[in-house]
Structure 1
């Protein structure tokens, strides 16, 4: 018996201990991963109510099944120029990911939602040193896929808007 104690193993579902699951999204050409356990919904946002004097990242408020949701533009949050997709009637078509954070409901407005992927935990790498500072502050690491990088977002950092100073 060894004298050094190791931490107890983290309980996981059978067969999933060595994998990480993500919902993939795109902002521009970049593939991003959201931890699947944090994603509540995927939906098209419509009827957004603009909030005067809100921080730039906040698109507005919307009603999702009777719950008031704060819509955040992930493009703005990542410091990228905003582009809008329009539906057949010229209205903005906003693809959204529903997230709960500290008891509040948020919708991340993204360019596109991809698939759910399962990656081996051993392929997770720290952030590259040359990654844009804004992105580095909002990400936890990367996975190298066959033809591109998957940047894993830190949803707590993404949703940590300084609303008190904005008020």
Structure 2
């Protein structure tokens, strides 16, 4: 069985293609980032309508100005411990472009939004190599900012893991 590509393969020339602005947010006490160009908006928690037969990380859908947007719990999707929703939780609406498919908006439940950070080449490194059994292909890299490490997510790959997009199209 072929091993999954390492994040170093996703990080051309030690971060040069990944420099720029990232929206950073917290999940389970850790910091994560997604490229600002993927972010459409940040909204407070809305009523989420559940959709039957979805994986546990798919919380349902929201109506955002007349558009139905699927919402996933990013904590659950990434295998982090579950937590009750609080007033600091919000939904980050991101635009994803799965391979061979049209662009879609997806809502991500996060614990709290931190900041928009401008990352330079020296701030970004490949994710550590954990060995062939741990899949890190959803990581763009790791950023060090103000002395803290932030995991930079390839949100298209995070959403595509487990075939989420086809199931959302069939049910949403």
User: TM-score of the superposition, structure 2-length normalised?
Assistant: 0.75
Which residue is equivalent to 1:157? Answer: 157
In the TM superposition, 1:108-127 aligns within 5 A as 108-127=108-127
Structure 1 residues 140, 18: CA separation in 2 closer, same or farther (over 3 Å shift)? closer
Give the Cα separation in 1 of the matches to 2:128 and 2:86.
35
Match of 2:51 in 1: 51
Q: CA deviation at 1:138?
A: 1.9
Q: For the Cα contact (< 8 Å) 2:41–2:93, is it kept in 1? A: yes
Could you tell which deviates more after superposition, 99-108 or 71-80? Answer: 99-108
Distance of 2:66 and 2:122 partners within structure 1: 41
2:134 aligned partner = 133
Higher relative contact order (CA 8 A, sep 6+): 2
* Structure 2 Cα separation of the partners of residues 103 and 19 of structure 1: 23
Aligned residue for 1:162, secondary structure, equals helix
Change in Cα spacing, 1:57 to 1:137, as seen in structure 2 (3 Å) is: farther
CA distance in 2, matches of 1:109, 1:86: 11
Unaligned runs of 5+ in 1: 1-16, 88-92
Q: CA deviation at 1:52?
A: 0.8
Asked if the contact 2:22–2:36 (Cα under 8 Å) also holds between the matched residues in 1, the reply is: yes
Q: Match of 1:144?
A: 144
Aligned counterparts of 1:59 and 1:126: Cα–Cα separation in 2 = 31
Tell me how many residue pairs correspond in the alignment. 145
Q: Is the 8 A contact 2:54 2:167 kept in 1?
A: no
Mind listing any 5+ residue stretches in structure 2 that lack a counterpart? 1-16, 97-101
> 2:41 aligns to what SS in structure 1?
strand
Shift in Å at residue 19 of structure 1? Answer: 4.1
More helix by share: 2
Match of 2:9 in 1: none
The Cα shift of 1:45 comes to: 2.5
Shift of 1:66: 0.9
Alpha-carbon separation, structure 2, partners of 1:165 and 1:113: 28
Give the TM-score normalised by the residue count of structure 1: 0.77
Give the distance between the partners of 1:84 and 1:18, measured in 2 at CA: 33
Partner of 1:106: 106
- What root-mean-square deviation, in Å, do the aligned CA atoms of Structure 1 and Structure 2 show? 2.5
CA contact (8 A) 1:68 1:105 kept: no
In 1, Cα distance between equivalents of 2:130 and 2:148:
16
